[in-house]
Amino acid sequence: MPLKALIFDVDGTLAETEEAHRAAFNRTFDQWRLGWHWTVDDYRRLLKTTGGKERMRAYQSTLPDSERRLSDAEIARAHKEKTAIYGEILASGQLSLRPGVADLIEAARARGLKVAVATTTNTPNVEALTRCCWGKPALKVFDHVAAGDMVANKKPAPDVFLLALEQLGLPAKSCIAFEDSRNGVHSALGADLRVLVTPSAYTDRDDFSDADWVIPTLEKYHLPRELL
């Protein structure tokens, strides 16, 4: 079946965003006077749990009983503040696309392919990234955006990729998913998509043996023949 669309994860795939997310979390924790601080190693482990609010719950479940606990409502408020801080970091221009991303999307559009997003992150974070890296709103860069705040279950569940396919109106076999994490690979495979992985700084130790392709970057000389 001919290729019709490319579906991209966001964090780690389009750009190395995780350090900006980690900084935003830590600034939020300081503002809430929680005494929490996530190191690089902490965050590498926490990324195995998809979703920012879910990571906060996972982290506090490991704390001693004497430590302060946030309710679900407080976690939601703190995460909303974190999202705003993340937006401020990106608005300052402190983020670049990973090598090959912009050229691949431009080439796909020139071929008449659709391009979409399927991400665990929320819609405001997608908007922040496209405005930072392209100077445009998300729907001026992508035909469709399927985000974590639109589905019941986050990756590794296939929900967000299934939503992207529904938005595109295309069968899975005519699309390729682009990911950087093991959870993302399982999510895409659950939607019957072929998956191309470019490991990121935080996922380079993951097992990607289930992916169809694993390449270091999306630069043209690494791409499989189908994308050239």
Query: In the chain, what are the domains?
Result: 5-15+96-227 (3.40.50.1000), 18-92 (1.10.150.240)
Rounding to the nearest 10 degrees, give the CA dihedral for residues 138, 144, 149, 155. Answer: -110
Per-residue pLDDT, 94? 79
User: Cα separation of 175 and 63, whole Å?
Assistant: 42
Per-residue pLDDT, 21? 93
**pLDDT tens readout for residues 38-68:** 999 999 999 989 999 999 999 999 999 888 8
Other CB atoms within 10 A of residue 186 CB: 17
- Where is pLDDT greater, at 67 or 116? 116
Residue whose tokens read 């005519």:
174
**Among this protein's residues, is 9 annotated catalytic?**
yes
Per-residue pLDDT, 39? 96
**Among this protein's residues, is 143 annotated catalytic?**
no
Q: Catalytic pick from 11, 159, 180, 206?
A: 11
Other CB atoms within 10 A of residue 50 CB: 22
Are the C-beta atoms of 13 and 204 separated by less than 8 Å? no
Per-residue pLDDT, 110? 96
Q: Can you tell me the mean pLDDT for 196-220?
A: 96
pLDDT band at residue 125 under the 50/70/90 scheme: very high
Per-residue pLDDT, 200? 94
**pLDDT tens readout for residues 146-193:** 999 999 999 999 999 999 999 999 999 999 999 999 999 999 999 999
Query: Going along the chain, which residue ranges are E strands?
Result: 5-8, 114-118, 144-146, 175-179, 194-197, 213-214
How is residue 168 written in tokens? 């595109």
- For the entire predicted model, the pTM comes to 0.90
